[in-house]
Amino acid sequence: MGRFILRRLLEMIPVLLVVSAVTFFMMRLAPGGPFDSERAMAPEVRKNLDAYYGFDKPLLTQYWNFLKNLAKGDLGPSSKYSNRSVNEIIGGAFPVSLELGIWSLLVALVIGVTAGLIASVKPNSALDYGSMSLSMIGICIPTFVMGPILLVLFALKTDWFNASGWFFPRDRILPSLTLGAYYAAYIARMTRGGMLEVLNQDFIRTARAKGAPLMSVLFKHAFRGGILPVISFLGPATAGLLTGSFVVETIFNVPGLGKYFVTAAFNRDYSMVMGTVLFYAVLIILFNLLVDVIQVWLNPKLRFE
C-alpha cells in the first residue's frame, strides 16, 4: 500500500506540470492584462509595474521563474490585491471553503444516505417514489435558485438567519444546506441503487431467512457493499464541494476561495489564476487517491497494484 501511494504521488508531478503549462500559456493568450482599466495608465508607470511583477521578461522565462518559485512553495504576489501574496490569500480563504465544504458534505451524506436507505428498504413503494422524486428535484434545482429561495424564506421573511456573511455559527447553515442539497440528491439515488443491488443477493436472502432483523441486515450485511458507489462518488464530489462553491459563496457572501478562483481570471491576476488552479488540481488528485485507498479497504475484491 505504501508503494501504491508513493507511486500515485510521483505521478502527480507530470500531471501538475502539464496543468501549469496549459494554464499559464492559455491565460496569457487571452486579450487584456492585469493593469488594463477604464483609466489609461502612463507608459512609464506601466513599464515599472511590468518590471515589478516580472511581466517584462519573455514568456518562457516567466514560466521558468514561476516553476522555480513554485518549487520553493512561493506562488508569487497577486497583482490585483497588490499588498498580498497568493499564498496568503489562499491561506486565508481556503479554511473558509473547507469549513463550508465539510458542513455541506455532512448535509449531503446525512440526508442523502438516509433517504437512499429508506427508499431501498421498500423499493417501488410510495416512500421510495416520494424520496426519489424529492432527490430528482434536488438535482434539478441549481444552487443559484435554491440559495435565494432559502435566503428569502429563512433570512428575510422569518429573520432567523443573516442574509449574508460568515460571522456567526448560524451563518454556516444556509450556505451548507444550499451547497449540500444538490449532492444529497445524488447520494440518495446512488445509495438506493447500491443497496438494492446488494439486497437482492443470495447472502442477504440467507441472512433474512435465518431471521436476522431488518436493521441488522441493513447495517451489518448490506451497508458495506451498498455504499461503495457513494464512496467512489465522494472523491470528485468533495473536490466539487470545495471548488464549486463560487455561486454559493457569492449568494451568501462567504469569504471563501471559490470566489477568487473565478474573479482571478476576470482580473487577469496571473499568479492568482496559477495558484488557485494548481491548488485545486492538487486537491482533486489527493481526494481521488484517498477514495481509491478507502475503496480497496472496503472492497476485498480490489487490490493495490
Partner 1 sequence: MRFYYSTIFLFPLFAALLCGCEKRVTRVEDGDRRQILHWGNGAEPEDLDPHTSKGEIEHNIQLALFEGLVAEEPRTASPTNGVAERWVVSEDKKLWTFYLRKNARWSNGDPVTARDFIDSWQRNLTPSLASQYAYMLHVVKNAKAFNEGTLTNFSEVGFKLIDDHTLQIQLESPTPYFLSLILHTSWYPVHLPTLRKHGRVDDRRNRWTRPENFVGNGAFNLKEWRMGSHILVEKSPTYWDAANVKLNKIYFYANESMDSEEKMFRGGQIHLFKECPQAKIDFYRKNKPHLINIAPILSTYFYRINVTRPPMNDKRVRRAMAMAIDRTAIVEKVTRGGQMPAYNLTPPDTAGYNCEAKLVEDIEAARKLLAEAGYPNGENFPKVEILFNTLESHRAIAEALQEMWRKNLNINVTLRNEEWKVYLSSMQQLDYFISRAGWGGDYDDPNTFMDMFVTGGGNNETGWSSKKYDNLIAQAGMIADPVKRFALFQEAEKHLMEEMPIIPIYFYTRPRLIRPSVKGFYPNLLDHHPYKYIYLVPEDSTR
In whole angstroms, give the CA distance from residue 264 to residue 152. Answer: 29
Q: Are 269 and 34 in contact (CB under 8 A)?
A: yes
Q: Which of 268, 275, 279, 285 binds partner 1 (CB under 8 A)?
A: 268
Instruction: Using the minimum distance from each CB to partner 1, give the nearer residue, 13 or 126.
Output: 126
Question: Residue 132: which residues within 8 A CB-CB, separation 6 or more?
Answer: 119, 188, 189, 192
Q: Which of 25, 52, 64, 203 binds partner 1 (CB under 8 A)?
A: 52
- Binders in 153-172 for partner 1, by CB under 8 A: 154-156, 158-167, 170
Give whole-number Cα distances, 221 to 84, 202, 216, 282, 294, in Å.
Answer: 53, 11, 7, 36, 18
**Is residue 115 a contact residue for partner 1 (CB under 8 A)?**
yes
**Is residue 123 a contact residue for partner 1 (CB under 8 A)?**
no
- Binders in 64-83 for partner 1, by CB under 8 A: 77, 80-83
**Is residue 266 a contact residue for partner 1 (CB under 8 A)?**
yes
In whole angstroms, give the CA distance from residue 267 to residue 68. Answer: 24
Q: What is the maximum alpha-carbon separation in the chain?
A: 86
What is the smallest separation between the CB atom of 233 and partner 1, expressed in angstroms?
Answer: 19
**Is residue 227 a contact residue for partner 1 (CB under 8 A)?**
no
Select the span of 2-10, 19-27, 28-36, 237-245 touching partner 1 (CB under 8 A).
28-36
Instruction: Using the minimum distance from each CB to partner 1, give the nearer residue, 4 or 154.
Output: 154
Instruction: Using the minimum distance from each CB to partner 1, give the nearer residue, 253 or 299.
Output: 253
Distance of CA 279 to the CA centre of its chain: 12
**Is residue 31 a contact residue for partner 1 (CB under 8 A)?**
yes
Give the 3-state secondary structure percentages of the chain, helix then strand then coil, rounded to 5.
75, 0, 25
What is the smallest separation between the CB atom of 104 and partner 1, expressed in angstroms?
Answer: 13
Q: What DSSP line would sit under 104-152, residue for residue?
A: HHHHHHHHHHHHHHHHHHSTTSHHHHHHHHHHHHHHHS-HHHHHHHHHI
Q: Which of 114, 232, 288, 299 binds partner 1 (CB under 8 A)?
A: 114
**Length of the chain counted residue by residue:** 305
Ramachandran category for residue 165: left, alpha or beta (phi over 0 → left; psi -120 to 50 → alpha): left
The site that binds partner 1 (CB under 8 A) totals a number of residues, namely 65
Count other Cβ atoms within 10 Å, centred on residue 228. 19
Instruction: Using the minimum distance from each CB to partner 1, give the nearer residue, 130 or 236.
Output: 130
**Is residue 44 a contact residue for partner 1 (CB under 8 A)?**
yes
- Binders in 179-218 for partner 1, by CB under 8 A: none
In whole angstroms, give the CA distance from residue 58 to residue 67. Answer: 14
Q: Which of 109, 132, 146, 150 binds partner 1 (CB under 8 A)?
A: 150
Instruction: Using the minimum distance from each CB to partner 1, give the nearer residue, 82 or 206.
Output: 82
**Is residue 283 a contact residue for partner 1 (CB under 8 A)?**
no
SS3 assignment, position 85: strand
User: Contact positions toward partner 1, by CB under 8 A?
Assistant: 30-33, 36-42, 44-46, 48-49, 52, 77, 80-85, 89, 92-93, 111, 114-115, 118, 121, 127, 131, 134, 150-151, 154-156, 158-167, 170, 173, 177, 250-253, 255-256, 259-260, 263, 266-268
